[in-house]
Chain A
Amino acid sequence: MTNLTLTPALALGDDALVLSHRLGEWAGNAPVLEEEVALANIALDLLGQARILLSLAGDEDELAYLREERQFRNLQLVEQPNGDFAHTIARQLYFSVYQQLLFDHLATGGTELAPLAAKAVKETSYHRDHAEQWTLRLGDGTDESHTRMQRGLDALWRFTGELFEPVDGLDAPWAALHDEWTTRITALLERATLTLPQGPQRGAWTAGGGRQGLHTEPFGRMLAEMQHLHRSHPGASW
């Protein structure tokens, strides 16, 4: 457990694991029954991706339940608490557009991640569609939903720069992916009558933080909840 290097499988697996967990927190709290089904569906897809990716890096349960916070390699974006539904949708939008672009690229490459990416990209395009449709509805819905959606987009903007920090061992045209991401997000927000956030996409402290094991305060609390039962019974099987 101590010799964890930043393998691409670990970085991408942690993204999927942590976002899946956050979406799982919505169970029983969604604004409408159809969204109970949709959010759980996305969470399950991501958990499936996480299990495949983490298994490429080691034992899935050891990696999920026995690492300390500083050993997780996920983006800070995905660990951010759910907030209101608009905040969750903003996080889904930023992440799913990024993930689809990256997986599209990886699916055609010859790495060990290609088969997973080829399968996951279908799921991810559904996740992106879900986030886009809700961004349009909330942006161009009522005054209240517009305000909330804009607030969610603005609040999470400072975590988006990290999406395109190069990941060691992962060959991807990061700058071009970033440009494409910005083009897509800009066009969508315009259709949704929303404004592209103007602030910096990274803070002094957060540049590339998640990938180096540097996380935000809410993450430790999330892990405490996630890992507690497993760690309370060392060596037990479930």
Chain B
Amino acid sequence: MTTIAPEEPALEAVFDATVAADERIEPRDWMPDAYRSTLVRQIAQHAHSEIIGMQPEANWITRAPSLRRKAILMAKVQDEAGHGLYLYSAAETLGTSRDELLDKLHTGRQKYSSIFNYPTLTWADVGAIGWLVDGAAITNQVPLCRCSYGPYARAMVRICKEESFHQRQGYELLMALSRGTEAQHAMAQDAVNRWWWPSLMMFGPPDDESAHSAQSMAWKIKRHSNDELRQRFVDICVPQAEALGLTLPDPDLTWNEERGHFDFGPIDWAEFWDVLKGNGPCNEQRISRRRRAHEDGAWVREAAAAHAAKHGKADR
């Protein structure tokens, strides 16, 4: 541990009592360094996921098959940019600037959710991302609305409301395809086949292999284990898939009366670790595109700063 200033034990006791009482830690409160760095890492990864996550969906904005769908998709991608903004702001309350975090993303020192390293190959993928990926994200994120760090918890309340709209639009999009022509139904089934297993991986490695889980649970940053949340998600999806008229690509999926949950087949963790290491189908493409947008925009940001300096006004 680092050296402890004379007053630290007392401060730490206040921190512990606040967390124990389920009250919120606020930016000006004392907090352990490790708590701060855990939060920065988690919030940054979440923010990065929002902005990288814009890419696979933006891939379909210019090809959306009706004007109504185009408006919904544009609004959704815009929401994701907005979520990125709230989350980078939440990280700033911990003393880390957006520029610093973006730099870490661009140089591979911080990660984003591996799910966005899979490609969106057809229009139905937009629906599968909404239903499954946003559905899994909500399952993960609803408990974060009660996270012990105030600014993060409050950002999550707003984000979860919007994510819930995103999940419903995905479900509704898939419903239209599933009930549409044969080709549309096949497109929907293919998308679900490709997105189901990566969505289950979004909850992270099994509990006994999860590096940060125990400490995060103790600090009430995290409220439920990876496996618990994954099970909750499977239990929600099975009846939804049935209502959609689509099948989930797992022959082992069966109701277990004794457990009161659905059993499901083994997850290919080798694939998970491989994608995490950078070998997924789109890792290189996503980060290159992000870097390019940032580099291409450098002269714009410099111009805004130069103009603000000349005219004594803050940049918008």
Interface residue ranges, A against B (CB under 8 Å): 17, 21, 24-25, 27-37, 40-41, 43-44, 47-48, 50-51, 54, 60-61, 64-65, 84-85, 133, 136-138, 140-142, 144-145, 148, 225-226, 228-230, 233, 235-238
- Chain A proximity mask over B171-203: 1 for CB below 8 Å, otherwise 0: 001001100110110000000000000000000
- Chain A proximity mask over B74-100: 1 for CB below 8 Å, otherwise 0: 110110011011001000000000100
26 A-B residue pairings within 8 Å (CB atoms): A30-B297, A31-B296, A31-B297, A32-B304, A34-B85, A36-B51, A36-B81, A37-B81, A40-B75, A44-B74, A47-B70, A47-B71, A47-B74, A54-B67, A65-B65, A138-B303, A141-B307, A142-B306, A145-B306, A226-B63, A229-B65, A233-B65, A233-B181, A235-B181, A236-B180, A238-B176
Interface residue ranges, B against A (CB under 8 Å): 51, 54-55, 58, 61-71, 74-75, 77-78, 81-82, 84-85, 88, 98, 123, 173, 176-177, 180-181, 183-184, 289, 293-294, 296-304, 306-308, 310-311, 316
Which residue of chain B lies nearest to A230 when distances are taken between CB atoms in the complex? Answer: B65
On chain A, the residues within 8 Å of B84 by CB distance are 33, 36
B77/A32 in contact, CB under 8 A: no
A226/B62 in contact, CB under 8 A: yes
On chain A, the residues within 8 Å of B293 by CB distance are 28-31
A85/B67 in contact, CB under 8 A: no
A236/B82 in contact, CB under 8 A: no
Q: Which of B63, B78, B303 contacts A36 (CB 8 A)?
A: B78
On chain A, the residues within 8 Å of B63 by CB distance are 225-226, 228-229
* B23 nearest CB across to chain A (Å): 31
Q: Which of B55, B173, B298 contacts A28 (CB 8 A)?
A: B55
* A55 nearest CB across to chain B (Å): 9
On chain B, the residues within 8 Å of A54 by CB distance are 67
* B233 nearest CB across to chain A (Å): 27
Which interface residue of B64, B70, B294 has the most chain A CB atoms within 10 A? B70
On chain A, the residues within 8 Å of B184 by CB distance are 233, 236
Could you tell me the dominant secondary structure of chain B's interface residues? helix
Known: A35-B300, A141-B302, A238-B173; 9 extra A-B contacts, CB below 8 A, are: A27-B54, A31-B293, A31-B296, A37-B78, A47-B67, A47-B71, A137-B307, A145-B300, A236-B65
On chain A, the residues within 8 Å of B307 by CB distance are 136-138, 140-141
Q: Which of B69, B88, B298 contacts A33 (CB 8 A)?
A: B88
Q: Which of A31, A33, A40 contacts B300 (CB 8 A)?
A: A31
On chain A, the residues within 8 Å of B298 by CB distance are 31
Q: How far is the CA of A238 from the CA of B54 in the complex (A)?
A: 22
A24/B306 in contact, CB under 8 A: no
Which residue of chain A lies nearest to B62 when distances are taken between CB atoms in the complex? Answer: A225
* A140 nearest CB across to chain B (Å): 6
On chain B, the residues within 8 Å of A225 by CB distance are 62-63
Q: Which of B67, B77, B299, B316 contacts A50 (CB 8 A)?
A: B67
With A37-B81, A44-B78, A236-B184 as contacts: A27 and B303 at CB distance below 8 Å: no
A24/B74 in contact, CB under 8 A: yes
* A62 nearest CB across to chain B (Å): 10
On chain B, the residues within 8 Å of A138 by CB distance are 300, 303, 307
On chain B, the residues within 8 Å of A32 by CB distance are 297, 300-301, 304
Which residue of chain A lies nearest to B293 when distances are taken between CB atoms in the complex? Answer: A29
A142/B67 in contact, CB under 8 A: no
Which residue of chain A lies nearest to B177 when distances are taken between CB atoms in the complex? Answer: A238
Q: How far is the CA of A17 from the CA of B74 in the complex (A)?
A: 13
On chain B, the residues within 8 Å of A237 by CB distance are 176, 180
Which interface residue of A25, A145, A225 has the most chain B CB atoms within 10 A? A145
